[in-house]
Amino acid sequence: MGGYLSIGTVYNDLYELMTPHYEFGISYDFKKKRDNEHLVQHIVLGYLLGFDKRDLDNTESLIRKVLDGWKPTQILDIVSFLWSQQKYLREEPEGDKKIIEKIILIWRWIYENKYKDRSKADITEDDKGILSVLGRLTVFLPQIDEEYSMWLLLSVPYVKMRGSSFVIKSLNKFDDAGSVGYVGKIFLKMLEYFIPDFDKKHIR
């Protein structure tokens, strides 16, 4: 399995055949960190590209099995890999919308199922790391509304851990009337925790 996981390309016709191996790998303790990263990448690609016909709301889908298992390293790998897709989406505009919607669905699932009702006192160091990288997914949001602002307000106290500049740069693109008020609140929340080390032109 390790040899197949090392291949960067995921093939639709092989995905179903590999599903039992992916399921086994989700709970397997890989000796090499890279093998676990590749496993997560294959599963995320299968979800984004529709190779796994079971969606996020299906507890039998591979992506749900990873999320429900909630191993911090795997969750970090999911979010980091989703964030990395921005460079590829620009090259394939026709498929962008559906994939971006699926990325946002993962962020929504994580917020609703893991953090919505959590008190700040219950946020662990692993949680802080996850919340910090979730903020990077702002690059995929179409606007900032009440729902999205709640996700970001939860993340901004921790974004300095993994680079606040990515979040600030993404927030700066939202200049529509509906978004600017929420963006302002997010920046103010950020300033309660740290002064961003970033070009001042990105903070209006």
pLDDT for the residue 48: 94
Shortest CA distance to 172 belongs to which of 154, 158, 190?
190
Low-confidence residues of the chain: pLDDT under 70: 1-8, 90-95, 161-163, 197-204
Q: Is 84 a domain residue?
A: no
Q: Is 22 a domain residue?
A: yes
Q: Is 90 a domain residue?
A: no
Q: Hey, what are 68's tokens?
A: 């429900």
pLDDT for the residue 203: 47
pTM across the whole model: 0.88
Q: Hey, what are 10's tokens?
A: 């995921």
Both 104 and 178 in one domain: the answer is yes
Q: Is 59 a domain residue?
A: yes
Question: What are the tens digits of pLDDT across the range 85-140?
Answer: 988 776 555 668 899 999 999 999 999 999 999 998 999 999 999 999 999 999 99
pLDDT for the residue 102: 96
Both 202 and 104 in one domain: the answer is yes
Which residues, other chains included, contact 17 with Cβ-Cβ below 8 Å and sequence gap of 6+?
A: none
Both 60 and 18 in one domain: the answer is yes
pLDDT for the residue 6: 43
**Domain finish residue from 25, 50, 69:** 69
Print the domain residue range for 47: 1-69
Both 36 and 133 in one domain: the answer is no
DSSP conformation letters of the chain: -HHHHT-S---HHHHHHHHHHHHHHHH---SSHHHHHHHHHHHHHHHHHT-S-S-TT-TTSHHHHHHHHT-HHHHHHHHHHHHHTHHHHTT-GGGHHHHHHHHHHHHHHHIIIIITT--GGG--HHHHHHHHHHGGGGGG-SS--HHHHHHHHHHGGGGGGT-HHHHHHHHTT--SHHHHHHHHHHHHHHHTT----S-GGG--
Cα dist. 50→56, 153, 158 in Å? 11, 31, 32
Both 175 and 105 in one domain: the answer is yes
Question: How many structural domains are present in the chain?
Answer: 2
Q: Is 142 a domain residue?
A: yes
